[in-house]
Amino acid sequence: MQKYFFQVILVIAFLILLPGHLKAEVSTEGFLLEQGTPPPGANLATCEPTLDKPNPIVLVPGTFERSAQNWLTLSPELAKRGYCVYAMNYGLTHAGPSTGDIEESAHELKEFVDNVLQLTGADKVDIIGHSQGGMMPRHYLKFLGGDKFVENLIAFVPSNHGTTGFFGLEQINSGVADISSCKACQQQLVGSEFVEELNKGNETPGNVSYTVISTKKDQVVIPYTSAFLNGPEKQVSNITIQDYYPLSIIGHQEIVYDPLSFSFVFDALAHQGPADPDRAVRWIR
């Protein structure tokens, strides 16, 4: 009788604890469902980091972009190489995706990274961003404590110091981009309060490695050198794709689909510190 009593107690305890466990698991993975359709290879809740690739990768799209399209090419390439890839969307307003206040978007990034770390058990992530998606994470790193949880920030054509040509997006997006009601667009203009505050003092805080990949054919971040960061060489790598591929005509939008530009990404991920462009292109030449 006593044995039966203890069996009943164990069953009751199991039934009480089980719903909570399931709820926690669903809650942890639910943030991935909130991102909508991911790019190929991304947002797999069952992916486990490995000893040689311990950091999950967080993909951050640019202004007016969603991850499903922005990372259509790079995401599956990363997954194929064994990385756990997580793609987010942010800053949704009536003007479109990634158009909201950049500081608020940085808080969305913080929450996303926290969830990725909880899901995977990893200590740090690597962030790869395009345009605003390469610049916005710097607010997270500098003001929200993100430098403790990020090893690499790899940025394609980021608007780090603002732009004088952001209205080029209207031509690129065939007039779909609603620049006038896009707060993030205004914040990315040269001389904006947001840009000035972001770059005041140390531009590359923490022990994060910063890799910037730019193109002389950029139609949006103008001048293209506005993407570059000031910082020690051991921590910062400012790369212009035409310095290594002189015939490249890759522009602002196309660079995230360009296999040649990916060589710098893979190099940064595979080594300590930022990308070494000479090392990255050695296998191609």
**pTM, entire model:** 0.89
Parallel/antiparallel/unpaired status of strands 85-87 and 236-240: unpaired
The share of the chain scoring above pLDDT 70, in percent, equals 85
Question: 169 and 79 in contact (C-beta within 8 Å)?
Answer: no
The structural domains of the chain, ordered by start, are: 34-281 (3.40.50.1820)
Taking the C-alpha atoms of residue 155 and residue 250, their distance in angstroms, rounded to an integer, is 15
Per-residue pLDDT of 166-203, as tens digits, reads 666 555 454 555 677 899 999 999 999 999 999 999 99
Q: Is pLDDT at 34 greater than 70 in this prediction?
A: yes
End-to-end CA separation in angstroms for the chain: 79
Q: What tokens were used for 164?
A: 């004088």
Q: What is the pLDDT of residue 181?
A: 86
Residue 33 pLDDT exceeds 90: yes
| Residue-wise pLDDT tens digits, 200-218 | 999 999 999 999 999 999 9
Model confidence over 77-124: pLDDT tens digits? 999 999 999 999 999 999 999 999 999 999 999 999 999 999 999 999
